[in-house]
Structure 1
Amino acid sequence: MRTRVALIAHDRKKPEIIALCRDFKEMLAQEELVATKSTGGLIEELTGLHVIRVNSGEKGGDLQIGSMIASDEIKAVVFLRDPLTAHPHEPDINAVLKICDVNNVPLATNIATARLVLGHLKELQGVKELPET
């Protein structure tokens, strides 16, 4: 039932996630997108894509997305993190990483892997049923 693509970005990575969404806009427009509050707001404002917004990272938005992953509602996650200067109020990668690994959901943590994951999803959009993993 995995239907959504989750988008999360630390503050310093928000310009990168916006650029990524612009580059994959046509493909992402065909997906149901979910994001943390400020990331989702920026994506909507700057790309025109519709995004379901959960709480901000500091208020548990990353955990809300984790719950969706555990409920088999997320087919891929892009979590562009800033490994060098992340702030305490920003979402924590560890819980998302763990639940993605437990549920075999692809997780991209940098722009290179994000492009690979979204590129693969773009290729699969024409396929009616995805093979079970």
Structure 2
Amino acid sequence: MTDKPIIALVAHDEKKDALVEFAINHQKTLIEYDIIATGTTGGRVAKACPKLNVRAMKSGPLGGDQQIGGMIADGKVNMLIFFIDPLTPMPHDVDVKALMRLAVLYDIPMALNRATAEELLEKDI
């Protein structure tokens, strides 16, 4: 990682394709950030956007959400883009809620859908 601001990218279940498409469409902006992401999402974003500096954590249900949450608590994450799938059962629902709670508690900008994510990137936070 560099001294660039850090964005966390997380996508659950059926939202992974949408987050990869988002990253592809916003590469010119995202290149200004270091990116951390949960395992599968990070791997897919890195493959689709090889110019981006992506560091993949563990898969979300295997602890990746908690790894990112710890980085938020340590003040190392500047923004969370978290595409949650509201239409599938979430066996890791507690992980989702914990990550959202930490983003709120530590007052970092958080987007839970594409429209809000685009607004945050436009504001260059």
Work out whether the TM-score is over 0.5: yes
Higher-Rg member (1/2): 1
CA distance in structure 2 between the partners assigned to 1:18 and 1:86 by the alignment? 21
SS where residue 82 of structure 1 aligns?
A: coil
- Deviation string 1:101-132 (CA, Å, 9 cap, x unpaired) is 111101111111111112212xx5xxxxxxxx
Conserved 8 A contact 1:58-1:91:
no
Q: Which moved more, 1:64-73 or 1:89-98?
A: 89-98
Match of 1:130 in 2: none
CA distance in structure 1 between the partners assigned to 2:5 and 2:70 by the alignment? 14
For 2:46, the aligned partner's letter is E
Q: Where do 5+ consecutive residues of structure 2 fail to align?
A: none
Q: Where do 5+ consecutive residues of structure 1 fail to align?
A: 125-133
Conserved 8 A contact 1:2-1:75:
no
CA distance in structure 2 between the partners assigned to 1:116 and 1:67 by the alignment? 25
Conserved 8 A contact 2:4-2:33:
no
TM-score (norm 1): 0.84
TM-aligned CA deviation for residue 50 of structure 1 = 2.5
1:98 to 101, 112, 115: 101
Off by >4 Å, runs of 4+ in structure 1: none
Conserved 8 A contact 2:13-2:88:
no
Relative to structure 1, the CA distance from residue 44 to residue 70 in structure 2 (aligned partners, 3 Å threshold; closer, same or farther) is same
CA distance in structure 2 between the partners assigned to 1:16 and 1:91 by the alignment? 22
Name the % identity. 34
TM-score (norm 2): 0.89
Conserved 8 A contact 1:5-1:32:
yes
2:116 is aligned with 1:113 = yes
CA distance in structure 2 between the partners assigned to 1:21 and 1:2 by the alignment? 17
Q: How much is the aligned-residue C-alpha RMSD, in angstroms?
A: 1.9
CA distance in structure 2 between the partners assigned to 1:56 and 1:105 by the alignment? 22
CA distance in structure 1 between the partners assigned to 2:7 and 2:28 by the alignment? 14
2:18 is aligned with 1:20 = no
Aligned residues: 122
